[in-house]
Structure 1
């Protein structure tokens, strides 16, 4: 391969005027390369700056998956250039795993919605005008309410029956080119009348809390209604949950590192070292989640065409699930270099506390998702 010899003799920095000794100015740090380049170079630079996905990813992912603690010990030893930085690695894998998981959940929900929507228009197929459809639906709704009162059915069953008939009516109204039926409000807590009041809080914050509470009520009623209304509410909730899930993980991360610091306080390690352990641990968890979801999607696609692939792919998913706790235990042993007994005791305690942290984080994400 022909090598190009580049000389910087006589070249000065365009920013500070210092003589250039390389591609970057040793005085101000500005690059010698111009930013006025074709658009595809700008896109490449942007992706490299945000994701930094280059050849180092191939040196990073394999040991991250099957060599517990290796990347962390390499980082501590100063051998960092060959590998993706811990925070960037965790950040990219977190986004990818949540993105793929969201797509998988959406596909499952889409299939369920199509299954429910395939019921057709029912008795409303005989109606030739929107007024007749609406009148028939109102009659059916009253009949269902009366039958439910006499048979003492639960409210959830009533809502499900009415929701199915509403879907049929809306399908027929869509065929007739008319507007759909309005969403029925349920009895119970009135989120419009029962508002949160706190004189010691700013009025703008009180209004924001009341809007969130109202959204929670609408989403909860919709999610339990079933049919297309329920699917739409579930979609809103999922969008809200996944919208805040990554942020909640970034709050859990430093808390997990602090927990490691307390558990190994006599090791006299810096907090940053524990944070790197936390970053690599979560990067592995997100990688395992990403692979599990991808294998699950591959299984769903292959099984209808090759049924024999079902068991092997299912075993791969189970193997990933079993490997996660074993990997984290071995990693803790490799990094902190204590005996197996003390490592296991601390591992179980850290895991117990971490489960509570994750539970709280997921609960907060769920509440914020309901308020979306």
Structure 2
């Protein structure tokens, strides 16, 4: 029966040494674990229904407060003079506009700003007690913030001070086309991040398996370069890369499962929750330790030399992952 070990690089050493009959091939092992990992990752990335519920409740509460104030205005109109009637009419128009904005808004950021603004406006209208200087300043800041919140871009793609994107090796015409495309991506990304970030995140995650098939051989090439004197073949470095990623995916998957179990607990301070947190911390600590031990056992160099190379590899690999994340983000964005 096939079996595999991911402890301290045992499986990798066995496979490179040619003892392969009893073990799962690296590519098959990677595919099996990565499929489960990315499928589960899509499951774990889901909207926070508690936040959505709270947002819905806040929206309903502030609309109710506006309606109550509008009813008070109706009562006050019968005994008001012409000047007071004009003030009431202005306040009614303002509150009705805020009510419409709150009811129709699908922008979480501007909705939160509008709710804060209305709460201060209601205090100002009641004038009991009058707004403090600090509250008045906050009111003005919120008004200014609300003006720009729907037009501000969350994402910016530029390399110039004026916010444009241009490349020196391109002609002016091609730079204009590039800048127009970048502006289109900025607008679409900003809108999605405000309205449905979960959808964008899911699309980006769906692109990661394909991108990782490019990252893996690049990581193996990096190992080949860093351990050039180890006399290892490229396929042996690729085996190290496949087993390393299999272990990382497996560890992160277990952490996600433990985190889900922790969220499902009724009491966050019980011994079970403390045990789960301890196990998660151990796994997070073990990931970099395992990768270091694996490189030490496979390439058989001194601790000092392995530490230096491990540090350099970590920096370069982080850069690779950053590029991969950007590609996944843009690719996912263009797929929507």
Same topology, TM > 0.5: yes
Residues 1:151 and 2:140 aligned together = yes
Matches within 5 A, 1:132-211: 138=97, 140=99, 141=101, 151-153=140-142, 186=151
Deviates more, 1:359-368 or 1:291-300: 359-368
Aligned to 1:263: 226
The Cα of 1:104 is off from its aligned counterpart by 2.1
Displacement of 1:221:
2.8
Equivalent residue, structure 2, for 1:86: 26
Alpha-carbon shift at residue 267 of structure 1 (Å): 1.9
Q: Which residue of 1 aligns with 2:85?
A: none
Shift of 1:115: 2.5
The offset of 1:369, in angstroms, is 3.2
Q: How far apart are residue 114 of structure 1 and its match? A: 2.4
Contact 2:45 2:202 in 1 (8 A): no
* Change over 3 Å in CA distance of 1:137–1:280 after alignment to 2: farther
Backbone CA RMSD of aligned residues: 3.8
Deviations 1:289-342 (A, max 9, x none): 001101111111134388221211101001001101110111001111112121
CA distance in 1, matches of 2:245, 2:283: 15
Is the aligned partner of 1:102 residue 2:61?
A: no
**Separation in 1 of the partners of 2:145 and 2:23?**
54
Given the two structures, how large is their TM-score scaled by the length of structure 2? 0.66
Q: Aligned pair 1:221/2:191, yes or no?
A: yes
Structure of greater relative contact order (alpha carbons < 8 Å, 6+ residues apart): 2
Which residue of the partner structure matches residue 53 of structure 2? 114
What's the counterpart of residue 130 of structure 1? none
**Cα 1:186–1:254, aligned 2, differ >3 Å: closer, same or farther?**
same
Q: Which has the higher helix share?
A: 2
Shift in Å at residue 198 of structure 1?
8.2
Distance 1:240 1:321, change over 3 A: same
C-alpha separation between the residues in 2 aligned to 1:273 and 1:311? 40
1:72 alignment counterpart: 12
Native 8 Å contact 2:220 2:238 kept in 1: yes
Please say if residues 165 and 182 of structure 2, whose CA atoms lie closer than 8 Å, have aligned partners that are also in contact.
Answer: no
Tell me how far apart the structure 2 counterparts of residues 119 and 68 of structure 1 sit (CA, whole Å).
Answer: 52
> In 1, are the aligned partners of 2:220 and 2:240 still within 8 Å (CA)?
yes
Q: Say if 1:253 and 1:278, in contact at 8 Å, map to a contact too.
A: yes
Counterparts of 2:181 and 2:308, CA distance in 1: 46
- 1:281: Cα distance to partner? 0.5
Between the two proteins, the alignment pairs up a number of residues equal to: 266
Alpha carbons of structure 1 residues 365 and 275: separation in structure 2 relative to 1, 3 Å: same
Please show how residues 218-297 of structure 1 align to structure 2 within 5 Å.
218-224=188-194, 230=195, 233-297=196-260
In 1, the alpha carbon distance for the partners of 2:171 and 2:22 equals 55
| Alignment match, 1:349 | 312
